[in-house]
Amino acid sequence: MVLSDHYLTFVKDQVELLAKTFAHTDVYVRYHPATEISRVLSIPRLKSFRKDSLIDRTNLPGNVSIHPTPLFYLPCDHQFKRVGERYYNTVKNRLQRSGAYPDLVHAHFIWPNGFVGAMLKKEYGIPFVVTAHGYDIYDLPFRDAEWKERIEAILNAADVVITVSNSNRECVERLNVTAPVKVVPNGFRHDQFYPMGTETCRKTLNLPVDRKILLSVGNLVEVKGHTYLIDAMSEVVRERMDVLCLIVGRGELKHRLEKKISSLGLEQYVRLVGGKPHSEIPLWMNASNVFVLPSLRESFGIVQVEAMACGKPVVATKNGGSEEIVTPGKTGLLCDAADPQGLAESIVRAIDAPWDASAIADEVGPYSWASIGKEISWTYSSLI
């Protein structure tokens, strides 16, 4: 059994890769049934939690079943703390009705999915693995004493704790956790992300062939740092005017970012192109000259690995995850987070630098799912 927040791409890829090692895999996808409440209360953040937008069943193996699991709560910390028991009861009731109990539970994100996994282990003795992906380990346990206690309890209930980066593991080490901890990064699909002809991809996407294209991919939320990227572009265009920055993603900051682009007079240099299907992202990456990740915080940042797999240099901030992936001067450049001037300087340098696309693509070979899957499969085998 897999427990996940939405059917995130890195979870979907992992499930599809490992499904062949099991007779059957049930994936419980937690979602917020907020279509109507978001319309009535005008809460943009909730609109992304609609059931129909969460489940990508493309190429789903026949032995994998997806169970959309609604969990309603108001978007505030107090409410979020109280959802664990309700979520567990929902999953437990479904299991009891089916009579099919899993041989192993893998929960992605500690809360509330990890709580459900811990309870299933306690009640039924099912081996339990939890992956700490991001805010659930660098943010939640350090908000207050209550969060710290419950996150520690979940991690200590696990047979194995997986984190996706060394920076995440350092967060675990700041807690009172005795369960074994392994660093297993997210992977990329090497059959989708590989070098393609830049001009061909640009023509397919109807993009100009005579511009230096910068690409950023990520939800339009504060932590992704797009506001600093837009500020940086106002500096970049002082140096050269043949640039075009494309930001792929959707989110609550769309209108604010659009206003910022307009106020800085960057309409010809920065475009918000909206969210795109993950299967289309390789085209956008191959159409670019440089990939930019301006995040304030990243646990790992799979998009930069995917860009490098396409042979593209990465300009990233020192955000916790990128320092483990980007090798300055070889696969990209690093700069301080929340520093538009430093980001602009790095972007200009990256545009002008001679990069070896093949060497960049080769560098991320160990992050392919073919390699990462072996480590996860071994973990499962050791517990069953």
The answer to whether 107 and 130 are in contact (CB under 8 A) is yes
Convert the pLDDT of each residue in 45-104 to its tens digit.
444 444 444 566 777 899 999 998 888 888 788 889 999 999 999 999 999 998 889 999
Closest listed residue to residue 220, CA positions, set 269, 261, 183, 191: 261
By mean pLDDT, which of 13-27, 123-137, 256-270 is the weakest?
13-27
pTM: 0.89
HEC string of 15-80 equals HHHHHHHCCCEEEEEEECCCHHHHHHHCCHHHHHHCHHHCCCCCCCCCCEEEEEEECCCCCCHHHH
Angle at 113 between CA 62 and CA 166, to 5 degrees: 100
Phi-psi region of 206 (alpha: psi -120 to 50; beta: other; left: phi over 0): left
Environment class of 238 (CB within 10 Å of its CB; exposed 0-12, middle 13-18, buried 19+): exposed
Q: What value does the mean pLDDT of the chain take?
A: 92
The CA distance from 240 to 215, in Å, is 17
pLDDT band at 195 (very low <50, low <70, confident <90, very high): very high
Asked if residue 299 lies in contact with residue 167, where contact means CB atoms within 8 angstroms, the answer is yes
Q: Is 5 exposed, middle or buried (0-12, 13-18, 19+ CB in 10 A)?
A: buried
Average pLDDT over residues 202-216: 98
Model confidence pLDDT, tens digit, residues 291-350: 999 999 999 999 999 999 999 999 999 999 999 999 999 999 999 999 999 999 999 999
**Percent of the chain predicted with pLDDT > 70:** 93
Report pLDDT for 154.
Answer: 98
Is 109 within 8 Å of 11 (Cβ atoms)? no
Task: Taking the CA atoms of 274, 275, 278 and 279 in sequence, report the sign of the dihedral they define.
Answer: negative
Beta bridge partners of 129: 106, 160
pLDDT value for 5: 82
Per residue in 227-277, pLDDT (tens digit) is 999 999 999 999 999 999 999 999 999 999 999 999 999 999 999 999 999
For residue 222, pLDDT over 50 is answered with yes
Nearest-Å Rg of the Cα atoms of the chain is 21
Residues 216-236 as b or e (16 or more Cβ within 10 Å = b): bbbebbebbbbbbbbbbbbbb
Report which secondary-structure segment, H or E, holds 115. helix 115-124
Residue of 220, 283, 284, 291 whose CA lies nearest to 249: 220
pLDDT greater than 80 at residue 218: yes
Confidence band for 2, pLDDT divided at 50, 70 and 90? very high
Specify the DSSP element, H or E, that contains 233. Answer: helix 226-239
**Nearest residue to 295 via CA among 323, 267, 330, 272:** 323
Measured CA to CA, the distance from residue 114 to residue 179 in angstroms comes to 14
Judged by DSSP in three states, 288 sits in coil
Q: Which residues contact 170 (CB under 8 A, 6 or more apart)?
A: none
Q: How confident is the model at residue 278 (pLDDT cuts 50, 70, 90)?
A: very high
pLDDT score for 372: 93
Q: How confident is the model at residue 214 (pLDDT cuts 50, 70, 90)?
A: very high
Measured N-to-C along each axis, helices 83-98 and 115-124 cross at an angle, to the nearest 10 degrees, of 50
**Tokens coding 22:** 């099991």
pLDDT at 33: 67
Q: Give the pLDDT confidence score for residue 42 in this predicted structure.
A: 40
The pLDDT > 90 percentage for the chain reads 84
Residue with tokens 């740092």: 225
Which of these, 326, 325, 348, lies nearest to 241 by C-alpha position? Answer: 348
Angle of CA points 210, 346, 308, to nearest 5°:
70
Give the pLDDT band of residue 216 (cuts 50, 70, 90). very high
Structural domains of the chain sorted by starting position, each given as residue range(s) with its CATH number in brackets: 2-187+368-383 (3.40.50.2000), 198-366 (3.40.50.2000)
Cα–Cα distance measured from residue 318 to residue 295, given in angstroms and rounded to the nearest whole number? 8
